[in-house]
Amino acid sequence: MQKDLFWSVSVHIINRSALLVLLVGIATVIVGCPSPARPAQSVVGAPTTPTPDLTATAVAVVLDQALAATPAGVVQPLLSTTDVFTTTAVTLAPTFTLSPQPTATVEPSATVEPTATLTAQPTPTHTPTATPTASPTANATATAGALATTIAVQVQATLAARPSPTSPLKPTPTRAASNQAIVQSDGKLNLREGPGTVYAVVLQIANGVTLQVLGRSVDDDWLQVRAASGEVGWASTRYLAVDQAIAAFPIVAAPPQPTQPPRPASCAIAAADELSSLWNQSEIGCPTSGPSIVWSSWTPYERGMMMWRSDANHVYGFFNSGWWQEVQDVWDGQSATPSRGAPPPGLLEPVRGTGYIWGTNDTFFQELGWARAEEKGFCALVQTFERGFLLRSSSVETCKDNLFNHARNGDFPLNTLVAIQGGGWRASVR
């Protein structure tokens, strides 16, 4: 009795163990297979085609095309809207068959999926020619195409951002020197026959004019230049802006320095000895009258100076722009200076005769600006010439109605003045 009971229990255990092994095998097969598109209609034993991974397929195609068709450093279109992605069908052939076992009973409670109950089926017959081929649905194809296009654009942008090994960076070209100089002067710049103030002025150049540089002096203080009119002369480097170092220009030999020409015998009137060092007959001609000491006034301005001479009763404006102008003194001795507004801090509104001209003549106001100091009377040694006049301040006690001479102590700001009719002016100011 005990022996029969032992074998009965053993057979029962073996049968349940075999059933568990069978169930584990079936579960392994089901888990290892890709999930079908419609789980509720699964047929046990039928060939199954896996759903392709659309993103992986698109990436693989794009990368394969990019590596195969694009040389290094050259970017070409990788995809077009006509590209077709073909999904290769994969057919899983069954590797084993399930046959009903006389002693195996499928228990209703053993299910692999909540919606699918395992049921023993007869052994299926596999026909190779009837194997169905799975094709992507229309929606899957469109999705794969869209993903492929997006990835292609990203790959193409990445390749385009890479520097081309066959196109090295070009160095920035260096601008060649133009051998030009620009005049930077408050007034007109004198163009002289040689590199120095002892040479005669051949031309006056306005501020901002461009000149062609031909060479430099030995001491680098002067440049030989050519004006737009073709005239050649020398200009001080202090008033020129160049686009390269002065030493880069070639040295040009200076012409011989001129000597003071003897007074021509043709001049009927001699120049005063005190003014002879200022006289250049080629500039202002011969004297038209003898020298005289006259009562004058002098006022410094922001951009030049003004003067009045009692002998001619004229007001003179000497402008830093390089020219000068004289007008008749029309002040009646009483009228106030027409207002130009409040002067800037540290500057003054001029008064009396020169102030009246400054207040009524726009040219004087615009050229000179505001006065830097009050008007001062002084005695001046003056001689008139054919094309201008020469002036030197005089230290005499007085020269007009015992009026105070601000130049009598020898420290008056204005020392000498050369005024050339139509040719500029120059002054020596202490």
Q: What confidence category does residue 155 fall into, taking pLDDT thresholds of 50, 70 and 90? A: low
Among 14-23, 146-155, 313-322, the minimum mean pLDDT is found in: 14-23
Q: Show me where the domains of the chain are located.
A: 180-248, 273-429
Does 31 have pLDDT greater than 50? Answer: no
Among 100-109, 239-248, 250-259, the minimum mean pLDDT is found in: 100-109
Name the more confident of 423 and 8.
Answer: 423
Under a CB-based contact definition with an 8 Å cutoff, are residues 232 and 254 in contact? no
Among 96-110, 135-149, 200-214, 340-354, the minimum mean pLDDT is found in: 96-110
Q: For position 240, what pLDDT does the model report?
A: 93
Instruction: Please report, as a single letter, which amino acid is at residue 377.
Output: G
What does the CA dihedral 310, 313, 317, 323 come to, rounded to 10 degrees? Answer: -110
Q: For position 96, what pLDDT does the model report?
A: 45
Structure-token pair, residue 254: 């200076």
Query: Residues 60-91: pLDDT tens digits?
Result: 555 566 556 555 544 444 344 444 344 444 44
Task: Share the mean pLDDT of the chain.
Answer: 74
Q: For position 167, what pLDDT does the model report?
A: 45
Angle of helix 138-161 relative to helix 54-69, nearest 10 degrees? Answer: 40
Sequence-distant (6+) residues with CB within 8 A of 369 are 301, 302, 303, 347
| Closest by Cα among 287, 286, 306 to 369 | 306
Mean pLDDT, residues 90-101 taken together: 46
Q: What confidence category does residue 201 fall into, taking pLDDT thresholds of 50, 70 and 90? A: confident
Winning range, highest mean pLDDT, from 47-51, 135-139, 414-418:
414-418
Tell me how far apart the alpha carbons of residues 344 and 355 are, in angstroms, rounded to a whole number.
Answer: 16
Q: b/e map of 87-123 (b: 16 or more CB within 10 Å)?
A: beeeeeeeeeebeeeeeeeeeeeeeeeeeeebeeeee
61 Rama sector, left if φ>0, alpha if ψ -120 to 50, beta otherwise: alpha
> What one-character DSSP code corresponds to residue 247?
G
Does 375 have pLDDT greater than 60? Answer: yes
Under a CB-based contact definition with an 8 Å cutoff, are residues 64 and 57 in contact? no
Q: For position 268, what pLDDT does the model report?
A: 92
In total, the chain counts a number of residues equal to 430
Tell me how far apart the alpha carbons of residues 204 and 215 are, in angstroms, rounded to a whole number.
Answer: 19
Q: How many CB atoms lie within 10 A of CB 373?
A: 13
Mean pLDDT, residues 233-257 taken together: 91
Q: How many CB atoms lie within 10 A of CB 212?
A: 14
Q: What confidence category does residue 151 fall into, taking pLDDT thresholds of 50, 70 and 90? A: low
Whether domain 180-248 has CATH 2.30.30.40: yes
C-alpha to C-alpha distances, 316 to 353, 364, 423, nearest whole angstrom: 11, 9, 15
